[in-house]
Amino acid sequence: MTKGRNKLQELLAEHGISQNGMGRDLGISKAAMSGIVKHGRWPKRSDKAELEGMLKHLLREAGISEGEIRAAFSRQKAAAVVAKEEDIMLLRRQGLFPKTKQHFGLPADPFGEVRDREDVFLSPEIRYVRESLYHTARHGGFLAVIGESGSGKSTLRRDLMDRITRDGQDVHVIEPYVLAMEESEKDGKPLKALHIAEAIMATVAPSEPIKSSPEARFRQLHRVLRDSSRTGWSHCLVIEEAHCLAISTLKHLKRFLELEDGFKKLMSVVLLGQPELEYKLSESNHVVREVVQRCECVKLRPMNGSLPDYVRHRFARVGADADAIIQPEALDALREKLTGPASRSGAGDSVSLVYPLAVGNLITAAMNLAADIGAPTVSADNILSV
C-alpha cells in the first residue's frame, strides 16, 4: 500500500468533501467514518453493503465519476485486507533445531531453501502459473504474477530460469536490478525506461557501447533486439517487486512490448509483485488502461486445498513421512491459525495466509516445541501454542 493518504481520503480531499459531514449524512460517528476512510473498517453494527451503497450514492451526488469511485473503493478494500493481516500472527524465519531433527529422525529441515526443481511443489494452480511463465518467456506476451510475500513468486522465477537453461531454450532473460527500487524518489530509486534499456543492452549485446542520446540509444536497442531475434533468440523482461514500479514506468512497458520486426514481437514482459500490483493494474485505473488491456494477471492463491499435499511433498524431499510426524488435526489448526475471520459482509473475503513461507515457519516452530516437551508427533495444540 502507498504511504500517507489512501485513495478514498484523496478523493474526498480533491473534491472538498468534509469527512465529518459525510459521516453525519450517513448517520455514523466521526470515529466510524474515520475507520471507513482510513482503514477500510466498517461499523460492526451496520449492514456493510447498505452503508457502502449509501456512501457511493453521496459521492455520485457530489459529482464524482463512477471511475473515480471504483478506483477509490478498490484501494480502500486493500486497506481493509492489510488491517486484517495485522491481526494474523506471522512468525519470523524459523530454523529446525538440531535436537528437533534428531527427535523426529530428520536428516535435514523439510522447509529449508528450495535447492532444485524437484523441491518445487506443483499443485494444479501453481502448475498453471509455471506453464504460463514458460510460454510467455518463449513465445511472447505480457504476464503479471501476483501473490503475497512468501507465496512462491521468487521460487517460480528461479524455476523459470532453471527450466530455460535445462531445456536449452534460446531465451535472453533480462532482469533489471531492483535492490533499492521504490515508486518515488523520496522513498528510493524508481526503475525507469532508461534503466530497462540499459539492462537489455547488458544482457543481449554486452560488448556494444551504449549510445549517449536517448533517441539514439532506443534506436540502437531496437536494432540489437531485431538482430538477436533473427538469429533465433527470444527476449523476456522479468521485473521482481513490480508493485514498487512507478506508474510512468508501467506505461512505458507498453512501448517495449510494441518493439517488433514485421509481425514478430521482439520482447515479452513478466511482472512479479505483491497485491498492490493488482490495484495498479486495475481496469478502473484509467491512467494505465493501455497497459491493462495487454496484461494477463494470474494470482498465487493460498494453499488451502493442497496444504496436506504440500506438507507431504516437503517432508518426502528429505526422506521423511509427514503423516508419521504431523497429526491431521494439526494441519486443520494450522489452516485456521493462518486464516483471519470472515467479514460480516457475507462476501467470503476472509484473509488467508496459507502460503509456503508462513506454513513452513509455523510447522517448524511447532516441531521445535513438540521436540522440547518430548511429544512423539506434532499436534493441533502444538500449532496453536506457537
CATH number for 64: 1.10.260
Is the Cβ–Cβ distance between 188 and 177 less than 8 Å? no
Q: What is the pLDDT of residue 343?
A: 41
Instruction: Indicate the SS3 state at residue 235.
Output: strand
Domain boundary among 260, 295, 330: 295
Q: E strand or H helix at 268, and its extent?
A: strand 268-273
162 within some domain: yes
Q: Return d(Cα 261, Cα 214) in angstroms, integer.
A: 21
Q: How many independent structural domains does the chain possess? A: 3
CB atoms within 10 A of CB 208: 12
127 within some domain: no
User: Are residue 368 and residue 231 in the same domain, yes or no?
Assistant: no
User: Are residue 71 and residue 179 in the same domain, yes or no?
Assistant: no
Provide the residue-wise pLDDT of the chain in tens; the chain has 386 residues. Answer: 344 456 788 888 888 888 888 888 888 888 788 878 876 777 766 677 788 888 888 888 888 888 788 777 765 555 555 544 544 545 667 789 999 999 999 999 999 989 899 999 999 999 999 999 999 999 999 999 999 988 999 999 999 999 999 999 999 999 998 876 777 666 678 889 999 999 999 999 999 999 988 899 999 999 999 999 999 999 999 999 999 898 889 999 999 999 999 999 999 999 999 988 988 888 777 778 888 888 999 999 999 889 999 999 999 999 999 999 999 999 999 998 888 755 444 444 457 889 999 999 999 999 999 999 999 999 999 999 88
Q: What is the pLDDT of residue 79?
A: 52
CATH number at residue 198: 3.40.50.300
135 within some domain: no
User: Are residue 78 and residue 106 in the same domain, yes or no?
Assistant: no
Instruction: Name residue, grid cell 523441491.
Output: 119
Domain boundary among 295, 329, 355: 295
Domain boundary among 267, 295, 323: 295
Q: What is the pLDDT of residue 70?
A: 77
User: Are residue 80 and residue 103 in the same domain, yes or no?
Assistant: no
133 within some domain: no
User: Are residue 291 and residue 309 in the same domain, yes or no?
Assistant: no
262 within some domain: yes
User: Are residue 288 and residue 307 in the same domain, yes or no?
Assistant: no
Distance of CA 111 to the CA centre of its chain: 21
User: Are residue 199 and residue 325 in the same domain, yes or no?
Assistant: no
User: Are residue 221 and residue 290 in the same domain, yes or no?
Assistant: yes
For the chain, the straight-line distance linking the first and the last C-alpha, in angstroms and rounded, comes to 29
Instruction: Indicate the SS3 state at residue 233.
Output: coil
130 within some domain: no
Q: Return d(Cα 310, Cα 357) in angstroms, integer.
A: 12
User: Are residue 332 and residue 205 in the same domain, yes or no?
Assistant: no
Q: What is the pLDDT of residue 123?
A: 92
Domain that holds residue 72: 7-85
Q: What is the pLDDT of residue 344?
A: 41
CATH number at residue 330: 1.10.8.60
335 within some domain: yes
Is the Cβ–Cβ distance between 89 and 361 less than 8 Å? no
What pTM does this model have?
0.74
User: Are residue 165 and residue 291 in the same domain, yes or no?
Assistant: yes
Phi and psi angles of residue 173, each rounded to the nearest 5 degrees, phi first: -95, 120
Q: E strand or H helix at 336, and its extent?
A: helix 328-337
93 within some domain: no
Q: What is the pLDDT of residue 280?
A: 86
DSSP 378: B
**Rg of the chain's alpha carbons, rounded to an integer?**
24
User: Are residue 209 and residue 335 in the same domain, yes or no?
Assistant: no
Q: What is the pLDDT of residue 3?
A: 43
Q: Return d(Cα 193, Cα 188) in angstroms, integer.
A: 16
DSSP secondary structure, 184-203, as one string: STTTS----HHHHHHHHHHH
User: Are residue 168 and residue 291 in the same domain, yes or no?
Assistant: yes
